[in-house]
């Protein structure tokens, strides 16, 4: 942390002393006021529900400039990573701080590839679920259960254990997501195949059957790989903060990542792609493009409780750079699969057009986020809507692990323990 020359001063209007706080500079982005001594000096806490003005940690993994619409992983713009790298390059980068050279890449790919199988006993664990269970419910359980199967890598003070856990989680997530899907379909699990790419292997585990050779479509493989890259990390979002908070107690990485999966499930976060597609499908069933105007009136009416899913973002207040890349991929996939006239894509374009012109959205700086188009891509590929968030979890796993690792290596690391403004009853007697 680099100390700034500036200092922040706080004085409370009750005549108490003025207190000075140090300010730290980031390499880019807002400085932070270090208020750790606030309680000791004033007996008061800060109040910031939703963390609107609070930096919860120091991090050097991902940087977002919401006003510029910029997203950097370890300093590299997402636009360059999305076209010049594959997902495992990006995993290596996020975990290690730099892109791999050829030898490092070969070694990393091999390590991941050789950990893609899961303990056979996990199949029986999975079989305990109902076949119609939501994939995120299944995934939360399966990821948490990994700690029972891979207990030999759960010593968090041992860097080798942390490395093995990271590789295991990145490698096994596609296998678990594909198993959850196959189970819901009543189809046999497909084992990983080591001569395929990370993403190619996932596509095969999802869609192959033992009855015939599976032919991989490179456009589909590339599109999913891009979805993975775009979702790999995103600074201190809700699920990442959940992983950090959960992991701050010293729990094992599988338990901490399972907490991240559970958080991601919510419709305001990773569940938005599923909610967005459901919204488009409902709108299509109720009149399609002709009814977009009416629907938008509902969205703008606060009492309707209707939100335009896939729009808006806590941090991006200009545009989400991932949404632009996803729109490109969406066009590529639809044209390669002969779905250029897909009615949902047309509907999405029309919603976007209206929203970008409407003062309600313009004034509130609401733009499409990555999920606005990722659902259409996944649906075209044949991924069921209920699996979208599980795919997001698969991709975000590397970010969660890197952030968890960074937290454990931080000398200032402490168990996370927020305080509160208590407004309940003061102490009273039980009258019985
Ligand atoms: N549709 C309609 N109105 C919206 C929307 C939307 N999607 N998003 C925000 N608004 C309005 C709010 O009603 C509010 O209006 P007001 O100022 O008149 O009260 C204003 O815009 C600000 O919205 P907040 O909810 O305060 O913004 P916040 O930063 O808390 O929320 C969030 C961000 C949760 C993403 C929100 O925009 C939303 O619910 N979007 C839809 C869900 C979604 O797509 N989530 C995906 C996020 S990206 C990701 O996780 C990968």
Of the candidate CATH numbers 3.40.50.300, 2.40.50.100, 1.10.3720.10, 1.10.580.10, the domain formed by 87-265+385-409 belongs to 1.10.580.10
Give burial (CB, 10 Å; 0-12/13-18/19+) of 111. middle
pLDDT (tens digit, 0 to 9) for every residue of the chain, 432 residues total?
A: 899 999 999 998 888 889 999 999 999 999 999 999 999 989 999 999 999 999 999 999 999 999 999 999 999 999 999 999 999 999 999 999 999 999 999 999 999 999 999 999 999 999 999 999 999 999 999 999 999 999 998 999 999 999 999 999 999 999 999 999 999 999 999 999 999 999 999 999 999 999 999 999 999 999 999 999 999 999 999 999 999 999 999 999 999 999 999 999 998 888 888 889 999 999 999 998 899 999 999 999 989 999 999 899 988 988 899 999 999 999 999 999 998 888 888 898 889 889 889 999 999 989 888 888 898 899 999 999 999 999 999 999 999 999 999 999 999 899 999 999 999 999 999 999
Residues 241-262 have pLDDT tens digits of: 999 999 999 999 999 999 999 9
Give the Cα separation of 146 and 255 in Å (integer). 8
Ligand 1 proximity of 313 Cβ (cutoff 6 Å): yes
Residues 317-336 have pLDDT tens digits of: 888 999 999 999 999 999 99
- pLDDT at position 422 is 98
- pLDDT at position 214 is 96
Distance 280 CA to ligand 1 centre (A): 17
CATH code of the domain made up of 2-55: 2.20.28.60
Q: Which two tokens stand for residue 112?
A: 């991941």
Query: Would residue 313 show up in a list of annotated catalytic residues for this protein?
Result: yes
- pLDDT at position 356 is 87
Q: Does this chain's domain 87-265+385-409 share its CATH topology with 272-381?
A: no
Contact between 127 and 94 under an 8 Å Cβ cutoff? The reply is no
- pLDDT at position 17 is 84
Give the Cα separation of 72 and 400 in Å (integer). 16
Tokens 């819901």 locate to 184
> Inter-axis angle of helices 343-357 and 292-300, to 10 degrees?
50
Please tell me the residue having the least CA distance from ligand 1 atom 32. Answer: 313
Distance 256 CA to ligand 1 centre (A): 27
**Domain spans in the chain, listed from the N-terminal domain onward:** 2-55, 87-265+385-409, 272-381
The preferred substitution site among 312, 362, 365, 392 for testing ligand 1, maximizing ligand atoms within 8 Å of CB, is 312
- pLDDT at position 270 is 86
* pTM summary value: 0.92
Tokens 């107690």 locate to 249
Please tell me the residue having the least CA distance from ligand 1 atom 49. Answer: 269
- pLDDT at position 314 is 86
- pLDDT at position 16 is 80
Q: Which two tokens stand for residue 129?
A: 């679920």
Distance 267 CA to ligand 1 centre (A): 11
In this structure, the number of other CB atoms found within 10 A of the CB of residue 335 comes to 11
Contacts of 286 by beta carbon, 8 Å cutoff, 6+ apart: none
Contact between 23 and 7 under an 8 Å Cβ cutoff? The reply is yes
- pLDDT at position 361 is 92
Please tell me the residue having the least CA distance from ligand 1 atom 20. Answer: 364
Query: Would residue 231 show up in a list of annotated catalytic residues for this protein?
Result: no
CATH code of the domain made up of 272-381: 1.10.230.10
What is the separation of C-alpha 373 from the centre of its chain, rounded to a whole number of angstroms? 15
Closest CA to 90 of 319, 398, 372, 413: 398
116 membership: H or E segment, kind and range: none
* Catalytic site residue from 89, 115, 313, 320: 313
Using CA atoms, how far residue 139 sits from 100, 126, 384, in Å, is 30, 9, 15
- Three-class DSSP category at 338: coil
Ligand 1 atom closest to the Cα of residue 231 is 51
Distance 388 CA to ligand 1 centre (A): 20
């Amino acid at each position: 942390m680099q100390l700034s020359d500036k200092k922040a001063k706080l004085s409370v209007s009750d005549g108490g002393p003025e207190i000075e706080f140090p300010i730290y500079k980031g390499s880019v982005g807002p400085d932070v006021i270090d208020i750790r001594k606030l309680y000791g000096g004033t007996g008061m806490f800060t109040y910031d529900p939703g963390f609107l003005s609070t930096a919860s940690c120091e991090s050097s993994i991902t940087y977002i400039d919401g006003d510029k619409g910029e997203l950097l992983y370890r300093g590299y713009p997402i636009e360059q990573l999305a076209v010049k790298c594959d997902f495992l390059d990006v995993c290596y980068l996020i975990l290690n701080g730099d892109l791999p050279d050829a030898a490092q890449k070969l070694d990393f790919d091999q390590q991941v590839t050789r950990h893609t199988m899961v303990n056979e006993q996990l199949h029986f664990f999975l079989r305990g679920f109902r076949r119609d269970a939501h994939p995120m419910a299944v995934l939360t359980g399966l990821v948490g259960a990994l700690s029972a199967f891979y207990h030999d890598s759960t010593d968090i003070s041992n860097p080798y254990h942390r490395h093995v856990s990271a590789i295991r989680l990145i490698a096994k997530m596609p296998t678990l997501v594909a198993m959850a899907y196959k189970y819901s379909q009543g189809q046999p699990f497909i084992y990983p195949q080591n001569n395929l790419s990370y993403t190619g292997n996932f596509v095969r585990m999802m869609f192959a059957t033992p009855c015939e050779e599976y032919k991989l479509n490179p456009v589909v493989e590339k599109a999913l790989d891009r979805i993975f890259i775009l979702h790999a990390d995103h600074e201190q979002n809700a699920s990442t903060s959940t992983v950090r908070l959960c992991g701050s107690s010293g729990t094992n990485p599988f338990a901490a990542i399972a907490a991240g999966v559970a958080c991601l499930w919510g419709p305001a976060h990773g569940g938005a792609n599923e909610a967005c597609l459901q919204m488009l499908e409902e709108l299509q069933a109720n009149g399609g493009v002709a009814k977009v105007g009416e629907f938008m009136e509902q969205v703008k009416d606060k009492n309707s409780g209707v939100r335009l899913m896939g729009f808006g973002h806590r941090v991006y207040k200009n545009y989400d750079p991932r949404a632009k890349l996803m729109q490109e991929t969406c066009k590529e996939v639809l044209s390669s699969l002969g779905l250029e006239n897909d009615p949902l894509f047309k509907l999405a374009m029309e919603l976007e057009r209206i929203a970008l012109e409407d003062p309600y959205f313009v004034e509130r700086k609401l733009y499409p986020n990555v999920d606005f188009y990722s659902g259409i891509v996944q649906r075209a590929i044949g991924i069921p809507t209920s699996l979208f968030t599980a795919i997001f979890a698969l991709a975000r796993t590397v970010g969660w692990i890197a952030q968890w690792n960074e937290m454990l290596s931080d000398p200032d690391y402490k168990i996370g323990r927020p305080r509160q403004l208590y407004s309940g009853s003061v102490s009273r007697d039980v009258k019985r």
